[in-house]
Structure 1
């Protein structure tokens, strides 16, 4: 499957998001007290992994959240923003050890977070990445697999489209 496109597979969706996410940008079993502390953590990871300014990332994501929560239901949030200093859309995935309030549209707390960071000039690429990731994360079976994955490597394998039996 080229360029990380989704494909329909027996038993649900699978994906190859390797164009968006690397194993080093995945965290499992993370504790966050609230949405602000989670966004601070995303800023720190973005600084470590992509050389972005942690405060700028956090501030941009917080501004976006003030427009409306990126918690879209089912325990999922997709904070996102555009940044100078990167040349392609990149992702950060975090599985929280305990759900937090995110003012999601369904009022359920969030435990799976896929942040998307895009170049300032990435109009269509940003929107396509949001659509790809949200389509995948809306799949109930896939969310269950992410919640049951035992390690960062297992999470990456799932996000990379490896069969769940191989990702345990």
Structure 2
């Protein structure tokens, strides 16, 4: 599994997500992911916060990849949000974050989890993709960029 379309669908993308700070972002991401996975939002938020204590998941360039491993998931699942206003995240470069790709995986999904992280980080390292993600007008356009970019990589 290496394509973002394997872990993301159109309903898992938000174009104008609102969060006032990192803590609120994690709570709201957890609530959104809970609707998709059927798992409790508190469990998801706790997993994200526990991982974040190991080191900030701010990737740089205004991007972040919060991730966690959670019992009860069938496989890796993603949720992408573009924030309406950037938040201070404690990223490696100190820049506020406006593009966030949440990755949740079952505890035993070692290789799939790493492949998914690699796919997300590849997209987040591409300045053209970042510019297009920030300029996209809709959830569908963002999803097409994320899913389409990976299709080109695989070709």
| TM-score normalised according to structure 1 size | 0.85
Contact 2:2–2:116 (CA under 8 A) maintained in structure 1:
no
C-alpha root-mean-square deviation of aligned residues, in Å?
A: 1.1
Q: Distance in 1 between matches of 2:8 and 2:136?
A: 17
Residue segments in structure 2 that go unaligned for 5+ positions in a row: 150-155
* 1:131 and 2:118 are equivalent in the alignment: yes
Aligned to 2:57: 70
Q: Distance in 2 between matches of 1:157 and 1:123?
A: 27
Aligned to 1:94: 81
* 1:114 and 2:101 are equivalent in the alignment: yes
- Residue 6 of structure 2: which of 19, 40, 63 is its match? 19
- How big is the shift at 1:4? 4.5
Name which one, 1 or 2, has greater alpha-carbon Rg: 1
- Residue 49 of structure 1: which of 29, 32, 36 is its match? 36
* SS of corresponding position for 2:86: strand
* SS of corresponding position for 1:160: helix
Runs of 4+ deviating beyond 6 Å: none
- How big is the shift at 1:85? 1.2
| TM-score normalised according to structure 2 size | 0.92
- Cα deviation digits, residues 117-148 of structure 1 (max 9, x gap): 00111011111110111011111110000000
Residue segments in structure 1 that go unaligned for 5+ positions in a row: 6-16, 163-168
Higher helix share: 2
- Cα deviation digits, residues 18-73 of structure 1 (max 9, x gap): 10101111111111100010101111111101111100100110111111110010
Q: Distance in 2 between matches of 1:31 and 1:25?
A: 15
Q: Distance in 1 between matches of 2:36 and 2:74?
A: 14
